Structures are given as structure tokens and as C-alpha cells.
């Protein structure tokens, strides 16, 4: 009877989803070097627990795997409760994935490619609770800023950059920079001119000549007219 065998992934949580072509120890060493060769990096431990959670699926029969499953779940909860990084073993995780910082990270993607950089307060997940299988796919070499939300069955193309606090709910082509609420994108190698929304018309604000004289105790007597939404350009 073989205690260890490479199992095929026939469904979420039913097989080993670690990258093929590299052993577990070499894979963990690569993850360690990706995180600046530091055991103090929470991201390294999150990835390491993920790797071990998948590797245990090669242990057969299931009765022999149960102690490893209990150890994995304890380590998984320690990473989740201690550092706020939720990375289920059912996520297909590529090589050299770097998790910068920690806290508020829910990485519920279908697949995360190789050489991906992820920062704090990032969410990969569903648009609606009922869409259990509609999870995003992150391509290779994607750089994701802090506070990003990538939701639904979208695909983020290889080499793209997702700016901080961006919400992505549609597919992103390869080599694309996306910022804001996912409504503004351009080819990565271009140099776009950013356009910011105009929230207030500066010409409608009072100029210095229209302000009251605040010298010689006039501050207490000043009664400037209220600035209405029409004057501020907000109506």
C-alpha cells in the first residue's frame, strides 16, 4: 500500500493542487526565498500552510490523512485569526506568490497564477452569496495593490497591474493597468493622462476680495453668507 501518491484534482478539495514539476520541500524553499528568506513574514506562513494543506491530499487512505488534516486546520485557523489571511487550500496557487503585509485578506479565487504580488485588505470572491462557483482567476505576474476587490468569474490577464482600492467586476486584458472602480483601463506600456472627476467648480467659490475683513476683532462680527450647493457646483 502506498501512503503517498499524487492525486488528480477531480473537484474542489479532492486532490493536490500544488504546482506540478517540483517537490514539496523545494516548493517551500522557493516560497521562503520569495518572502525575503524571512520566517517573520506572515505571507510565507499563509502560503506554506496552503502548500501543506494540499500535500496532505496525497496521503491514502483517508483514515491516515485525518491527523494531518487536523494539523492543517489548526494551522489554517492560526494564520486566519493571527494575521487575517484567508487562503483556502482549494485555491489553485502558482509559484513564487508574494503576500505583502497582512490583515483583511480574503483570497477566495479559483486560481492565482505564478509571480503574483498581493497586498493587504484584498478580497477575491463572489459577487453574490448564491454564486458559489463564480470566483475570479488571477493570471501570472499580476501586481495587486492594497484594498483591491476582484469579484465574480472574471479573469485578470497576465502582467496586469491593479491599483489600490480598485473594484474589478469584468475581465482585464493582459498587460493592462486598472485603477478606480474598474471603469478606467489602458494598455500597461502607454503613458496615459489621468482624468479626475470634477467634484467642485472652483470658479464658483468666493475669492479673497469677497471675504469679510477679519482684522481688528472683526472675526466675531463676520457673518458670511452660507455657501449653497449651487455656488459650490455640487448641485
Average pLDDT for the chain: 80
- Residue 164 falls within a domain, yes or no? yes
- What pLDDT is recorded for position 138? 97
Residues 171 and 186 grouped into a single domain: yes
Residues 39 and 4 grouped into a single domain: yes
Average pLDDT over residues 179-189: 65
pLDDT band for position 11 (50/70/90)?
A: low
- Residue 97 falls within a domain, yes or no? no
Domain hosting 187: range is 104-196
Q: Which residue has the higher pLDDT, 221 or 86?
A: 86
Whether pLDDT at 223 is above 60: no
Whether pLDDT at 173 is above 80: yes
Average pLDDT over residues 24-43: 95
Q: pTM score, two decimals?
A: 0.72
Give the end of a domain, one of 90, 125, 152.
Answer: 90
| Gap between the Cα atoms of 35 and 95, Å rounded | 12
72 membership: H or E segment, kind and range:
helix 62-83
| Gap between the Cα atoms of 154 and 123, Å rounded | 13
Amino acid at each position: 500500500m502506498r501512503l503517498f501518491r499524487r492525486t488528480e484534482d477531480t473537484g474542489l478539495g479532492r486532490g493536490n493542487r500544488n504546482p506540478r514539476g517540483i517537490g514539496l520541500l523545494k516548493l517551500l524553499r522557493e516560497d521562503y526565498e520569495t518572502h525575503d528568506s524571512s520566517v517573520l513574514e506572515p505571507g510565507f506562513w499563509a502560503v506554506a500552510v496552503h502548500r501543506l494543506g494540499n500535500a496532505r491530499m496525497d496521503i491514502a487512505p483517508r483514515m491516515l490523512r485525518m491527523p494531518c488534516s487536523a494539523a492543517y486546520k489548526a494551522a489554517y485557523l492560526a494564520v486566519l485569526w493571527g494575521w487575517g489571511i484567508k487562503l483556502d487550500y482549494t485555491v489553485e496557487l502558482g509559484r513564487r506568490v508574494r503576500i505583502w503585509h497582512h490583515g483583511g485578506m480574503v483570497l477566495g479565487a479559483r486560481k492565482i497564477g505564478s509571480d503574483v504580488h498581493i497586498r493587504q485588505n484584498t478580497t477575491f470572491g463572489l459577487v453574490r452569496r448564491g454564486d458559489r462557483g463564480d470566483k475570479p482567476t488571477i493570471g501570472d505576474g499580476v501586481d495587486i495593490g492594497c484594498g483591491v476587490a476582484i469579484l465574480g468569474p472574471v479573469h485578470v490577464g497576465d502582467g496586469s497591474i491593479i491599483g489600490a482600492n480598485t473594484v474589478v467586476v469584468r475581465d482585464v486584458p493582459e498587460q493592462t493597468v486598472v485603477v478606480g472602480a474598474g471603469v478606467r483601463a489602458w494598455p500597461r506600456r502607454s503613458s496615459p493622462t489621468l482624468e479626475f472627476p470634477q467634484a467642485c467648480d472652483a470658479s464658483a467659490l468666493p475669492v479673497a476680495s469677497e471675504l469679510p475683513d477679519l482684522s481688528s476683532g472683526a472675526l466675531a462680527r463676520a457673518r458670511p453668507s452660507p455657501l449653497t450647493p449651487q455656488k459650490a457646483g455640487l448641485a
